[in-house]
């Protein structure tokens, strides 16, 4: 089966070698997305109790369209954006913790094959 | 032969690649298959450090979908969805051609594909956003036609997956825009 996983992705990172640009880019974007998930989860919780995008916009002096863009994707977020959004949505500040990359179990390839198999089964009925 | 067998056959002989999350420990909750053209973007070789950096960001964008993280999806408003939308069905909707919108950093990249089933997206071609013009430009239409042509090479006369709600294409968590 053709899979896109190539040589060990974490080798330079875990062996104190220079980290290739593509991997730096990958983890920057991943970090940004973690913050995005936290902010959107918080917003959806408050939205369920009546807090709107307009309310959020008003609290931080932005236009509602800007809020819609920010909640769509974290592309142009800065640290300041995250701080403003969490302050206005949750009346809180984030508590950042580290998650070591070393020692994590590999994904379950059997489970993945089952995912594909279940899909094939549906179409072969 | 079923559409599932056609997919398996294409992956087995290298016409499609099963794109996996970059981190070996990350889960696969949605499936993404890519043509060699798209797979080359994320696995290299790259022609410059800028391209390597840009494609590192693109793979993390793919991982948002694959790992089942929250993505924003536009089903019905191809010309009016927010610029930050992650996944969008293109016009005309009956063609069932979708784009993954990797906007940052510049140059933005659009990756075109069709769903085989819910959470099973096959992407065939891509373009830099600045080369594509507006959403109804000739360049955009050319990429849509190319996507349909490539689909037919793999899946013959099987139609793409069709749905009327976001959750019929992509499992939660999503943000419908």
Side-chain-side CA neighbours of B123 within 13 Å: the count stands at 28
- Please count the residue pairs, one from chain A and one from chain B, whose beta carbons lie less than 8 angstroms apart: 148
**ipTM (interface predicted TM):** 0.85
- Find residue B175's DSSP bridge partners: B72
Q: What percent of chain A has pLDDT over 70?
A: 80
Edge-to-edge order in the sheet of strand B98-102: B17-18, B31-34, B120-128, B109-117, B98-102, B87-89, B71-74, B174-176
Question: In this predicted structure, what is the pLDDT of residue B155?
Answer: 97
Question: Which CA distances in Å does B167 have to B74, B121, B146?
Answer: 11, 14, 26
Q: What is the mean pLDDT of residues A86-102?
A: 92
Question: In this predicted structure, what is the pLDDT of residue A119?
Answer: 58
Taken in order A121, A122, A123, A124, the sign of the CA dihedral is positive
Tell me the H-state helices in chain B.
Answer: 3-12, 36-43, 49-66, 138-155
**A75:B4 CB<8 A:** no
pLDDT tens-digit profile of B113-163? 999 999 999 999 999 998 998 777 899 999 999 999 999 999 999 999 999
Q: Is the peptide bond before B92 cis (omega within 30 degrees of 0)?
A: yes
Tell me the H-state helices in A4-108.
Answer: 11-14, 21-47, 53-60, 64-72, 79-90
Residue A8 vs residue B153, higher pLDDT: B153
Residue A52 has pLDDT above 50, yes or no: yes
Question: In this predicted structure, what is the pLDDT of residue B49?
Answer: 94
Taken in order B49, B53, B58, B63, the sign of the CA dihedral is positive
Q: What is the mean pLDDT of residues A12-31?
A: 94
Residues 84-113 of A with CB under 8 A from B: 101, 104-107, 111-112
Residue B101 has pLDDT above 60, yes or no: yes
Q: What percent of chain B has pLDDT over 70?
A: 99
- Our measurement of the distance from residue B175's CA atom to the centroid of its chain's CA atoms, rounded to an integer in Å, reads 17
Question: In this predicted structure, what is the pLDDT of residue A21?
Answer: 93
Residue A34 has pLDDT above 50, yes or no: yes
Residue in A with minimal Cα distance to B175? A72
| Residue of B52, B59, B85 with shortest CB distance to A20 | B52
């Amino acid at each position: 089966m053709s899979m896109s996983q190539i040589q060990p992705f974490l080798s330079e990172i875990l062996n104190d070698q220079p980290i290739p640009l593509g991997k730096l880019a990958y983890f920057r974007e991943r970090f940004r997305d973690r913050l995005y998930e936290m902010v959107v989860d918080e917003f959806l919780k408050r939205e369920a109790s009546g807090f709107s995008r307009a309310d959020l916009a008003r609290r931080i002096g932005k236009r509602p369209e800007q809020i819609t863009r920010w909640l769509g994707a974290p592309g142009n977020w800065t640290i300041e954006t995250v701080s403003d959004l969490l302050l206005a949505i949750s009346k809180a500040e984030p508590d950042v913790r580290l998650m070591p990359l070393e020692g994590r179990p590999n994904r379950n390839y059997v489970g993945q094959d089952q995912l594909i198999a279940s899909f094939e089964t549906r179409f072969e009925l | 032969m079923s559409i599932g067998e056609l997919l398996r056959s294409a992956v087995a002989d290298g016409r499609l690649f099963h794109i996996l999350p970059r981190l070996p420990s990350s889960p696969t909750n949605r499936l993404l298959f890519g043509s060699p053209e798209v797979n080359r973007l994320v696995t290299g070789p790259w022609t410059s450090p800028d391209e390597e950096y840009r494609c590192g960001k693109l793979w993390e964008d793919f991982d948002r979908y694959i790992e089942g993280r929250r993505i924003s999806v536009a089903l019905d408003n191809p010309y009016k969805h927010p610029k930050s939308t992650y996944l969008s069905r293109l016009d005309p909707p009956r063609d069932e051609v979708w784009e993954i919108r990797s906007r940052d950093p510049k140059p933005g990249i659009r990756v075109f594909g069709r769903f085989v089933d819910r959470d099973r997206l096959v992407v065939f071609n891509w373009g830099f956003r600045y080369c594509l013009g507006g959403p109804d430009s000739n360049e955009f239409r050319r990429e849509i036609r190319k996507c349909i042509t490539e689909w037919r090479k793999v899946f013959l006369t099987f139609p793409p997956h069709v749905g009327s709600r976001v959750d019929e294409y992509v499992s939660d968590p999503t943000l419908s825009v």
